[in-house]
Chain A
């Protein structure tokens, strides 16, 4: 330290006794504050751990996930495309998760039941679709990175119809105002219900999706993986591919789609995971 720097050092006191005494006093105060800090941390940890459980999480943690959801929702999922890859990047297909896949499906007898449809033009509330109905929609192939919530990922190729096109053709019920009149589209986006619920034919596996992610241009009703029809363990005959979400939301073997304004139940959210699961 130069003499100049020394001049800048704040002096509290001089004189041996005085300095020692003063230091002890300051130490006592600071260490008491420190002890209070440690007690606060231990207490806070205990407090969080002992709160009422909300879907397998203490409510402060569940609330934090919901606040994060609101925060990231402002970065509109529909405004960002998941990166796509060259076919050479395609990896092997890891099979993970078999809930709801107990009963193999024959594509010729399988039906997709859709409920919560628009009835304002005299149409039915509920319809059943064959795989050919989905295949008759414009087909898209995307090569995206499938990311499991466990932390692994593989680049895969998917082919299917966009959910947004499916909804455009078979419109979900349009939200209404207080007089029961349908709400007009906002910036070209129809006033669809806020959520989409999907479940396997046996209802064992189910996911809830926000409408914004469901309308994302890369969200596919998918029937082909890596150039081949879906195998049973990958969700034949029709599964969801939604690259803006973790794998848990990419439900295999869709049996039922329901449009609703109530946040749908979600299999893994009930086990303590984030309902939103947005990437």
Chain B
């Protein structure tokens, strides 16, 4: 017997889908800014990768035309990047604050904040997904791995705002900047939190694809179709 179950409240869906383009603009404009002083490396022990190689900013660049692909053109645009960044951080901040407020006030935080079983459950989930374990653990709205991932992303969002303010206003908010270990440390953290979003995004998309249409549709419509028996009235 099929029935329709509510999965994601309207507010959560709005926060989620507003955040997507806003964060995209923040990461894109952040790259325009980072280009002007791209000092970080990814150290993999044997190799150190410069973030980012020149081709990354301007793929398909030809000296003859002095142009690359128009859709992916990230160099020499620092001023423009700062202007977009300092407009859209307001939307990112307000959306994030409203989202967390909603989680708290609606009690939805109980679905996301990791519980004491979450780590154990997360290990079981990962083993199951790697086909090393037959049964998947029992779960509520989110399993342990999801709880840890989604809660981390909220903490990272707060981290982006805090480290961002620390490098945006290191005099007005000098107390915050020094609390984080200084201007350079705050900038370092701000960058790597963003890299964390990119990693999250890749895994998130893979998992959404794996979970299938019904689950994805749940984040759009708010409802999922289930095969379960209807509960006894």
Contacts and interface: CB of A to CB of B under 8 A. Distances in A.
A107 interface: no
A166 B184 CA distance: 33
Interface stretch (A7-15, A170-178, A192-200, A257-265): A7-15
A37 to B, nearest CB: 7
Interface in A4-51: 5-7, 9-16, 19-20, 22-23, 26-27, 29-31, 34, 37, 41
B1 A14 contact: yes
A267 interface: no
A276 to B, nearest CB: 11
Nearest to B33: A151
Interface SS majority for chain B: helix
Contacts of A131: none
Name which of B36, B39, B187, B231 has the most chain A CB atoms within 10 A of its CB. Answer: B231
Contacts of B37: 148, 150-152
A7 B170 contact: no
Interface string A232-245: 00000000000110
A57 interface: yes
A278 B2 CA distance: 59
B149 interface: no
A179 B3 CA distance: 80
A168 interface: no
B209 to A, nearest CB: 17
Nearest to B168: A279
Given A64-B87, A75-B172, A150-B36, A20 B6 contact: no
Closest 4 CB pairs of A and B: A151-B37, A272-B79, A12-B4, A64-B87
B220 interface: yes
Contacts of B78: 149-150
A147 interface: yes
Contact of B223 (A26, A56, A81): A26
A82 B171 contact: yes
Nearest to B18: A37
A13 B171 contact: no
A61 B36 contact: no
A3 interface: yes
Interface string A155-172: 000000000000000000
B220 A27 contact: yes
Contacts of A15: 1-3
B101 interface: no
Contacts of B1: 14-16
A266 interface: no
Interface residues of A, number: 57
Contact of A273 (B4, B79, B217): B79
B5 A151 contact: no
Contacts of B99: none
Interface of B: 1-6, 17, 21, 33-34, 36-37, 39, 78-80, 82-84, 86-87, 138, 140, 169-172, 174, 177-178, 183-184, 187, 217, 220-223, 225, 230-232
Contacts of B183: 145, 147, 153
Contacts of A81: 171, 174
Given A3-B231, A19-B3, A151-B34, 6 more contacts: A10-B5, A20-B225, A30-B217, A61-B80, A68-B86, A273-B82
A150 B37 CA distance: 6
A73 to B, nearest CB: 10
Contacts of B172: 72, 75, 77, 80, 278-279
A274 B225 contact: no
A271 B79 CA distance: 8
Contacts of A7: 231
Interface string A72-99: 1001010011110000000000000000
B174 A83 contact: yes
15 contacts: A9-B6, A10-B6, A14-B3, A19-B2, A19-B4, A23-B217, A56-B79, A65-B86, A68-B86, A82-B171, A83-B171, A83-B174, A150-B37, A152-B37, A279-B169
Nearest to A1: B140
